[in-house]
Amino acid sequence: MSTLSKGHFAAKHPPGTEVSTDLQQAVGKNLVDGGISCHNAHGIAETLKVAPHEVGVAIDLAEGRILKCQLGLFGYGKGQKMVKAAKSIMPPLRNAIETALENDQLSCSAAWRIAEEQATPRLSVANACEMLGVQIKPCQLGAF
């Protein structure tokens, strides 16, 4: 799902894809003007004890957009992101990122784990990745 996309998110999934009624309802209650924040989507996953990707599927099926990525990558206005290249990176953070790379990419879940382990904001990890030229992919919610 991209912030530049104009719907048709359900088409990303095979015909007949379904999610539980509880998940459909939780997503529906949290959609505001056709969007739901990454934070709220992860809250739904935690509350319902489902994988974030399942919440992402439910959002897609509701033709909703994911807003305010917690890594600052998308959802902050038309085509805007919060992430900015860090001016410097502490060696432990750099090492953690480089160690977690798979195919020269850092998964969203690995970025979150690194932020927790390094006791640093998630946006700081994304800013370090931006400086290092590391693409964060895939998204836990399936946005990218």
- Model confidence over 61-106: pLDDT tens digits? 999 999 999 999 999 988 788 999 999 999 999 999 999 999 999 9
Distance, in Å, from the CA atom of 20 to the CA atom of 22, rounded to the nearest integer, reads 5
Chain-centroid distance of CA 124 in Å reads 15
**Average of per-residue pLDDT across 100-113:** 98
Q: DSSP assignment of 16-32, as one string?
A: T----HHHHHHHHHH-B
pLDDT band at 30 (very low <50, low <70, confident <90, very high): very high
How is residue 81 written in tokens? 């992101």
Model's pTM, two decimal places? 0.90
pLDDT more than 90, % of the chain: 90
Separation of alpha carbons 135 and 32, rounded Å? 29
Dihedral of the alpha carbons of 89, 98, 2, 85, in degrees to the nearest 10: 20
